[in-house]
Structures are given as C-alpha cells and as structure tokens.
A and B are shown apart, each in its own frame.
Chain A
C-alpha cells in the first residue's frame, strides 16, 4: 500500500466515519427544521434585551433606521428590502455588525456584550408577546 493509502487507513477508521456521518445527518435534520420550514405573511424584527421582549418592528422594503440604546451600549438597527442588519455598534467584538442581514423566521442577530438579540418572527409569534 502506498503512503497515501496508509495515511487514510490509519487516519480514518470505521468509527471515525460513523461519528462524522452521525454529525452530518444531525446537521441535515436540523437544517430542514430551521432553514426550510415554509412561512407566509408579515414578518417582524423582534428586539430582546436581557432575554426580555422590548419591541417588534415590521419588515419593509423602505429604509428604516433605529437606534437601540441600553445600559450596555448602542446598536444601530437597519431594515431594508425586508432584511434586518446591524449597521453600527459600540460593542467589543463587532460580531453583530459582521453577522450580516437576516430575513427568515427564527434567524437571529446576537450582540452578546450588549445582551441584545434580534429575531425574525411571524405575526402569530409576535402576538404572544402582547
């Protein structure tokens, strides 16, 4: 057996392939549940701070800018083309700014230093907060 063959035989054993397959199948099932569930109707950007629901903003085509000020700092939320994103933040890691935009139900933007979570929810889900 050549060197590459020996490497593959010793590196990837049957149990290794089994573990990789189980994780890939789990990812596939979760993706179907989270990513491909159908939705219709008006969607909202829901803002949570410290796990508490603060407000919901309907997604829209036109540009909308909103400043979210908390005791932890400030995030600037933008809505455009039915998508939500964080334009600016004074947080440490800027992960919320780098997350990009979200537009599907259950998607979220997280700003851990500001304890801020923005999720996309449908009207029924928003109604439960009121």
Chain B
C-alpha cells in the first residue's frame, strides 16, 4: 500500500472515530442533560468538540460531514426540529472553518469553540425571529452570547484534550505541527 493510501485510510479511520463520538455525546447530552432548563434554545453542544477537532485536523469538509451526521441522529433518535439546528449548524461550522483558516496557528481550540457556539446561537435566534416574524425573540440573545463563551470554552477544552488522547495534531500545509 502506498504512503498516500495509508494516510487516507488513517484519516478516514480517525474521522470515523470522531463521528462515533459526535453521535454518542449528542445522545448522552440529549437524554441525560436534556431536562436542564436554560435560556431558551441554548444547549452545551458537547458533540461540537469533535466537529472542532475534525475541522482543525482534517478540514472543513469533515466538519460538515460530522455536523450532518449529528443532524441525522437528531432527526432519527430524538425527532428534533430541523430548521433552526440546520441553519445554526451550517453557519457555525462555516464560521469555525473560516476563523481556523484565517488565523491558522494563531488561534486555539478555545477561540474556535467560542466562535462556533456564538455563531450557532446568533443564527438560531435570527432564524426564529424571522420565521416567527417577531424581534422580541432576540430578548434572550445577550444571555445566549454569555452562555456561548462558557459552553464554547467547555467544548474547546474537550476538543483539546481529545486531540492529546487521540494523538492528533494540527495540519499546517501538509506538515503536522503540535499545538
């Protein structure tokens, strides 16, 4: 087997592990922490830690694949609503990918996690305000932004620790650079 083929297989295997972790953590959060009442619509989003890792290690394509895997799990296992998570997730993954490619090694897991959480919540609130034709829905946005910083830090920390456990390093122009 050539070196390229081996690398490709290794990437897919590690991405598949991240995919399984996304599903497991999404379901754990939904069924174990689902009863916790917080500011309307705001969740911790522990699964996002592995999407962050996929974006940093394997690129935006894998980030979007893992997000759609989570979305599909939500529809099948929890009958979750589709519109708001779909809008929020796409913008969130796009924002995390953009900020990762713009700042490269100058930004860490913390900044990417917070950016993803804030982008998700802002998008969900705007989508709800537009679809229900009511700006009053934005009343809780300040609380959602505060929680974004908190929960984004948690998912960023989990992503960082998982990268250490799985021995993943940041890709940088074909070379691997430890962060």
Is A23 within 8 A of B145, CB to CB? Answer: yes
Query: In the complex, are the beta carbons of A11 and B134 less than 8 A apart?
Result: no
Known contacts: A11-B156, A115-B132, A117-B134. The answer to whether A30 contacts B145 by CB under 8 A is yes
Q: A27-B142, A30-B145, A112-B132 are in contact. Are A12 and B108 (CB under 8 A)?
A: yes
B93 at the interface (CB under 8 A from A): no
Q: Say yes or no: is A13 at the interface (Cβ < 8 Å to chain B).
A: yes
Specify the chain B residue showing the minimal Cβ separation from A121: B136
* Cβ-neighbour of A20 out of B114, B133, B134 (below 8 A): B114
Interface of chain A, main secondary structure: helix
**Does B52 make an interface contact (CB < 8 A)?**
no
- CB-defined interface of A113-126 with B at 8 Å, one 1/0 digit per residue? 00101010000000
Of the candidates A13, A23, A48, A92, the one whose C-beta lies within 8 Å of that of B149 is A23
Q: Range of interface residues on chain B?
A: 35 or more
Q: How far is the CA of A31 from the CA of B138 in the complex (A)?
A: 11
Does A72 make an interface contact (CB < 8 A)? no
CB-based contact A11/B128 at 8 Å: no
Residues of A within 8 A of B (CB): 7, 10-16, 18-20, 23-24, 26-28, 30-31, 34-35, 48, 50-51, 92-93, 95, 98-100, 106-108, 110, 112, 115, 117, 119
A23, B118: Cβ atoms closer than 8 Å: yes
How far apart sit A58 and B40, CA to CA, in the bound complex (Å)? 25
For this complex, 29 residue pairs linking A to B, each with C-beta atoms less than 8 Å apart, are A7-B160, A11-B110, A12-B110, A15-B106, A16-B111, A16-B156, A19-B107, A19-B111, A20-B110, A23-B114, A23-B118, A23-B145, A23-B148, A23-B149, A24-B146, A30-B145, A31-B142, A34-B141, A34-B142, A51-B132, A51-B133, A51-B134, A92-B79, A99-B40, A106-B139, A107-B136, A108-B136, A108-B137, A117-B136
